[in-house]
């Protein structure tokens, strides 16, 4: 592609891991003074700096990062520097001549009220707050803004008393009053930390208070700060926090280390939450919940994000990342920890199913597209673009595989050694793997390829039973497709958990050739070669293999399993995950078969054996939460992944056909399931009630596909009488997908009831954006103009524009291209004030090569239009340029 010269020379530059060098200077202490005003903030930063002897030569200039700052003054050892003694440019401040040790005082000014990028110091809902990860601290003051520079921070905040709460990291040591209605507070954080963990809040906030006694007997004050009117929505977050603290003590022996732990809910936030030391900032979506306003899924989400940020205190804060290429060191590990926590709090099988579902619908496409990158990437243009599902979720899978290979006790030994070696340090993913190796005397050299090679490995399995020798030979082969910059891959080291079922569906004891006796019924095979054979002996009858139990590795598995065998596994596998998996594969094959039929102009028909398999699952004695999962058909996004060229209409029509046919044939069964799982009495958030609601509402959604008056009446009745948001939203979602008079009535009633609750309105926007009805784009376009929609609020953007473009394939990929043009319009606008959110939205266009020629051209045209935009952010530039490459 030929671009004008100027664009090439101006194109943002990539940063490479191979160029990493240790910092030339280190900072021991940081003394910050914030003077907050309504129209500006003045920040005075006093740094004690010394040269990092091993890594610097005499008199090397000191280069500090800083962006969008107004520099007021710089003093070196209390001497004001004159213009010739430093250099200032767009993103740095260079002090030309510095001694080996010195203090530097820098005064800057910023305008928090104008900051809509939500990085650095900004205002949300009238409160001051900060977001410094990854590179936001440089938008507050000039600094060595890199995670391997760890310092002790003291923070003084001065503000008007209309901001009663003045909060920062660590412990409050002093506070006082000033004249003219102002006051101040001084915080000291005793732990060394990188700048990305700095935080400050000043606002008029109420808080819920509790205490936690650690296992060594220390008392920790727990506080959740929210706006006064939200105080009644903080109990679940507090409960989740205490559970997290207990769980980390019990599971990993990790105790909290400060006397106070604060969480502040913020309405305008780019991501989920942020683990700043002692002062977590949360998107209010992950704090606020009461049964009337939050769904069961919201309650779960809060539990896992509260856990996630709390667990970062050890995996991220006490031991942090050397550089941003190591991001998965803290994120992959912390996601693994929050997944295990959630699994222990409720249904392990359902948690695993949901995690794998999101891995497959988000991470696998990322790994197969133009933005594919390794868990430890080699380069980036904008680090904000690398807070990806690969870093987080595939990173967690990599940790999980080590857990599987080393066992629970071995993994714990590795964690203990990791903290023993690296507490207080900034380290690499390699240091983590090394601790796992050394604690277990294991060689993980080959395993490390998971960190450096991108792409989703493909595994093929073929088994042969030999009756004469009573043996079963399983051959596994692996390969991995090319990804950008990585044409060829070396074999991975992967754990394949498996079992063998007999004709009754019972697990058979497993004995590999060369072993004295059978041990266990689930075994972990270690696949290391491109092709490898495993021979089981004393196999009394032809077995049916159950492979990749619990999804023991993040791969695509190909095995020749007939539909009859899949139905058998769905009915019998002792591994709940693999039951679900068999059902998904069966449904997937059937739907994709129907897509082919549709394309050939044939009528769609549904095999009765599938209907019977579903009926059997519905009537099984399994946990209703698992049953609901078994009955959920693979999503359109997941099915699209399985096609070389996505058939947008075919997938939608075939999947809807199957849903409707199941509803017709099993109508009485679904009605019965609906009644049997209706929970009388008031709402409770516990495993049993959540499970029953999930199955009841799944039954309702099937019944509603028929769009019959009786189903609609049932739906309206549930909508009108629900005492909780789970049931209310389930009914409204079902209605919003049907063309009926009840739809508009219910949507209007819901809006009227919740017009003053922004988080509930996000759901209302989201449901309309995800409606399968043909008029959806027009509705979404109208909703962007709705008075309750705020383009500067990321939650609103994600719930309306994000839901439409990422979760509504049939309407987003409209053959007119109007969906693509709409997204480009929105992104170009959002990019002018919040590049991070704009870049996130662009993911929906990056896999244009998966589509037919017409759609390819339309998507490409919008990408071209975006990249031609003068002043495009480097965030958006990176996504678009890589997508077009």
State the residues that interact with ligand TRP by CB under 6 A: 131, 133-134, 270-271, 273-275, 308-309, 331, 384, 387
**Contacted entry of Zn ion, ligand TRP, none for residue 367, CB cut-off 5 to 8 Å set by kind:** none
Stated as kind and residue range, the H or E segment containing 843 is helix 835-846
In this complex, which beta carbon is closest to ligand TRP, that of residue 304 or of residue 736? 304
In this complex, which beta carbon is closest to Zn ion, that of residue 331 or of residue 575? 331
In this complex, which beta carbon is closest to ligand TRP, that of residue 762 or of residue 875? 875
Q: Residue 810 and residue 774: Cα distance in Å, rounded?
A: 9
Min separation Cβ 253 and Zn ion, Å:
21
Q: Which alpha helices (H) appear in 359-479, and where do they start and end?
A: 364-367, 389, 395-422, 429-440, 449-452
Taking CB under 5 A as the criterion, which residues in 396-425 touch Zn ion? none
Min separation Cβ 267 and ligand TRP, Å:
14
**Contacted entry of Zn ion, ligand TRP, none for residue 581, CB cut-off 5 to 8 Å set by kind:** none
Q: With both helix axes pointing from N to C terminus, report the angle between 725-736 and 687-704 in degrees, rounded to the nearest 10.
A: 20
**Contacted entry of Zn ion, ligand TRP, none for residue 195, CB cut-off 5 to 8 Å set by kind:** none
Which candidate, 116, 141, 160, 115, places its Cα nearest to that of 31? 141
If DSSP states are collapsed to H, E and C, what string results for 137-203? HHHCCCECCCCCCCEEEEEEEEEECCCCEEEECCEEEEEEECCCCEEEEEEEEEEEECHHHCCEEEE
E-state strands within 658-738: none
**Contacted entry of ligand TRP, Zn ion, none for residue 274, CB cut-off 5 to 8 Å set by kind:** ligand TRP
Instruction: Tell me the CA end-to-end span of the chain in Å, nearest whole number.
Output: 8
In this complex, which beta carbon is closest to ligand TRP, that of residue 273 or of residue 567? 273
Min separation Cβ 168 and ligand TRP, Å:
17
- The label of the residue with tokens 């699952």 reads 617
In this complex, which beta carbon is closest to ligand TRP, that of residue 153 or of residue 719? 153
Q: DSSP letters along 267-333, please?
A: SS-SSSEE--TTEEEEEGGGT---TTT--HHHHHHHHHHHHHHHHTTTBTTTBEESSGGGHHHHHHH
Q: Residue 43 and residue 128: Cα distance in Å, rounded?
A: 14
**Contacted entry of ligand TRP, Zn ion, none for residue 270, CB cut-off 5 to 8 Å set by kind:** ligand TRP
Q: Residue 299 and residue 289: Cα distance in Å, rounded?
A: 7
Which candidate, 709, 633, 710, places its Cα nearest to that of 671? 710
With CB under 5 A as the rule, give the number of residues binding Zn ion. 2
* Cβ-based neighbour number of residue 774 at 10 Å: 11
In this complex, which beta carbon is closest to Zn ion, that of residue 300 or of residue 742? 300
In this complex, which beta carbon is closest to ligand TRP, that of residue 305 or of residue 633? 305
Query: How long a stretch of residues is the chain?
Result: 885
Min separation Cβ 312 and ligand TRP, Å:
6
Min separation Cβ 241 and Zn ion, Å:
16
Q: Residue 199 and residue 131: Cα distance in Å, rounded?
A: 7
In this complex, which beta carbon is closest to Zn ion, that of residue 186 or of residue 277? 277
**Contacted entry of Zn ion, ligand TRP, none for residue 273, CB cut-off 5 to 8 Å set by kind:** ligand TRP
**Contacted entry of ligand TRP, Zn ion, none for residue 238, CB cut-off 5 to 8 Å set by kind:** none
Min separation Cβ 773 and Zn ion, Å:
37
Q: Residue 804 and residue 789: Cα distance in Å, rounded?
A: 15
**Contacted entry of Zn ion, ligand TRP, none for residue 793, CB cut-off 5 to 8 Å set by kind:** none
Min separation Cβ 148 and ligand TRP, Å:
17
Cα–Cα distances in angstroms (integers) from residue 673 to residues 353, 410, 451, 695, in the given order: 22, 44, 45, 7
Q: DSSP letters along 520-578, please?
A: -SSEEEEE-SSEEEEEE----S--EEEESGGG-SSSEEEE---HHHHHHHHHH-SSHHH
Are residues 552 and 524 in contact, defined by beta-carbon separation less than 8 angstroms?
A: yes
Three-class secondary structure of residue 876 per DSSP:
helix
Taking CB under 5 A as the criterion, which residues in 314-353 touch Zn ion? 331, 334
**Contacted entry of ligand TRP, Zn ion, none for residue 387, CB cut-off 5 to 8 Å set by kind:** ligand TRP
Min separation Cβ 873 and Zn ion, Å:
23
When CB distances to ligand TRP are compared, the closest residue is 271
Catalytic residues: 309
In this complex, which beta carbon is closest to ligand TRP, that of residue 33 or of residue 330? 330
Min separation Cβ 275 and ligand TRP, Å:
5
Instruction: Give me the residues that bind Zn ion (CB under 5 A), please.
Output: 331, 334
């Amino acid at each position: 592609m030929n671009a004008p010269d100027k664009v090439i020379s101006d194109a943002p530059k990539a940063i490479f891991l191979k160029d990493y060098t240790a910092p030339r200077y280190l900072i021991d202490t940081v003394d910050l003074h914030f003077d907050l005003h309504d129209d500006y903030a003045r920040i005075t930063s006093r740094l004690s700096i010394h040269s990092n002897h091993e890594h610097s030569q005499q008199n090397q200039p000191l280069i500090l990062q800083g962006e969008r700052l107004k520099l007021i003054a710089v003093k070196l050892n209390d001497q004001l520097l004159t213009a010739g003694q430093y250099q200032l440019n767009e993103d740095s401040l260079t002090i030309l001549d510095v001694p080996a040790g010195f203090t530097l005082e820098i005064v800057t000014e910023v305008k928090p009220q104008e900051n809509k990028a939500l990085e650095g110091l900004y205002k949300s809902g009238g409160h001051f707050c900060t977001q410094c990860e990854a590179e936001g601290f440089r938008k507050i003051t000039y600094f060595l803004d890199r995670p391997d520079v760890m310092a002790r921070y003291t923070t003084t905040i001065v503000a008007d008393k209309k901001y009663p709460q003045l909060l920062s990291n660590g412990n409050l040591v002093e506070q006082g009053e000033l004249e003219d209605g102002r006051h101040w507070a001084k915080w000291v954080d005793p732990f060394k930390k990188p700048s990305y963990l700095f935080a400050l809040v000043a606002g008029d906030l109420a808080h819920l208070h509790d205490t936690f006694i650690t296992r060594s007997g220390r008392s920790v004050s727990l506080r959740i700060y929210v706006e006064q009117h939200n105080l009644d929505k903080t109990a679940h977050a507090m409960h989740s926090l205490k559970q997290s603290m207990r769980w980390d003590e019990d599971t990993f022996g990790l105790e909290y280390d400060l006397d106070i732990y604060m969480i502040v809910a913020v309405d305008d936030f780019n991501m989920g939450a942020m683990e700043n030391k002692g002062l977590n900032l949360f998107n209010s979506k992950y704090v606020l919940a009461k049964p009337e306003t939050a769904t069961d899924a919201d309650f779960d989400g809060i539990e896992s994000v509260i856990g996630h940020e709390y667990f970062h205190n050890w995996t991220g804060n006490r031991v942090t990342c050397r550089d941003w290429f190591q991001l998965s060191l803290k994120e992959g590990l912390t996601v693994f920890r929050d997944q295990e926590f959630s699994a222990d709090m409720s249904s392990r099988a359902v948690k695993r199913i949901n995690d794998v579902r999101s891995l497959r619908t988000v991470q696998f496409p990322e790994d197969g597209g133009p933005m594919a990158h390794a868990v430890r990437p080699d380069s980036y243009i904008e680090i904000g673009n690398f807070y990806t599902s690969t870093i987080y979720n595939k990173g967690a899978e990599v940790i999980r595989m080590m857990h599987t290979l080393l066992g629970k006790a071995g993994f714990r030994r590795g964690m203990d050694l990791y903290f023993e070696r690296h507490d207080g340090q900034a380290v690499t993913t390699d240091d983590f793997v090394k601790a796992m190796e050394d604690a277990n005397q294991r060689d993980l050299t080959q395993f490390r390829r998971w960190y450096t090679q991108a792409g989703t490995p493909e595994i093929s399995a073929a088994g042969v039973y030999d009756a004469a020798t009573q043996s079963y030979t399983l051959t596994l082969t692996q390969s991995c497709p090319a990804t950008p910059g990585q044409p060829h891959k070396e074999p991975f080291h992967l754990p394949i958990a498996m079992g063998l079922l007999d004709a009754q569906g019972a697990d058979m004891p497993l004995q590999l050739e060369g072993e004295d006796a059978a041990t266990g019924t689930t075994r972990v095979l270690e696949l290391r070669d491109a092709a490898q054979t495993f021979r089981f002996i004393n196999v009394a009858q032809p077995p049916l293999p159950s492979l990749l139990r619990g999804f023991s590795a993040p791969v695509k598995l190909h095995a020749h399993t007939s539909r009859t065998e899949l139905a058998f596994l769905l009915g019998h596998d002792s591994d709940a995950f693999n039951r679900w998996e068999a059902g998904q594969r069966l449904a997937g094959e059937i739907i994709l078969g129907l897509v082919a039929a549709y394309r050939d102009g044939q009528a769609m028909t549904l095999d009765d054996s599938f209907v019977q398999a579903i009926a059997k699952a519905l009537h099984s004695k399994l946990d209703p939460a698992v049953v609901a999962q078994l009955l959920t058909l693979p999503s359109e996004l997941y099915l699209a992944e399985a096609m070389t060229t996505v058939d947008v209409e075919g997938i939608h029509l075939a999947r809807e056909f199957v849903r409707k046919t199941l509803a017709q044939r099993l109508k009485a069964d679904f009605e019965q399931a609906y009644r049997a799982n209706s929970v009388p009495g008031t709402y409770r958030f516990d495993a049993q009630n959540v499970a029953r609601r999930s199955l009841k509402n799944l039954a309702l959604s099937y019944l509603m596909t028929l769009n019959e008056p009786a189903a609609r009446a049932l739906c309206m009745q549930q909508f009108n009488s629900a005492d909780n948001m789970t049931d209310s939203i389930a009914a409204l979602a079902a209605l919003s997908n049907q063309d009926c008079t009840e739809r508009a009535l219910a949507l209007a009633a819901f809006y009227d009831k919740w017009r003053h609750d922004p988080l509930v309105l996000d759901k209302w926007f989201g449901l309309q954006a995800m409606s399968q009805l043909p008029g959806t784009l027009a509705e979404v376009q109208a909703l962007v103009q709705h008075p309750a929609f705020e383009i500067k609020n990321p939650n609103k953007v994600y719930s309306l524009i994000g839901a439409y473009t990422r979760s509504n394939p049939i309407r987003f990929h409209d053959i007119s291209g109007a969906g693509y043009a709409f997204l480009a319009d929105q992104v170009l606008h959002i990019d002018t004030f919040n590049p991070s959110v704009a870049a996130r939205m662009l993911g929906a266009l990056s896999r244009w090569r998966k589509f037919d020629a017409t759609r390819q051209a339309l998507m490409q045209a919008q990408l071209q239009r975006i990249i031609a935009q003068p002043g495009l952010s480097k965030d958006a530039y990176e996504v678009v340029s890589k997508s077009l490459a």
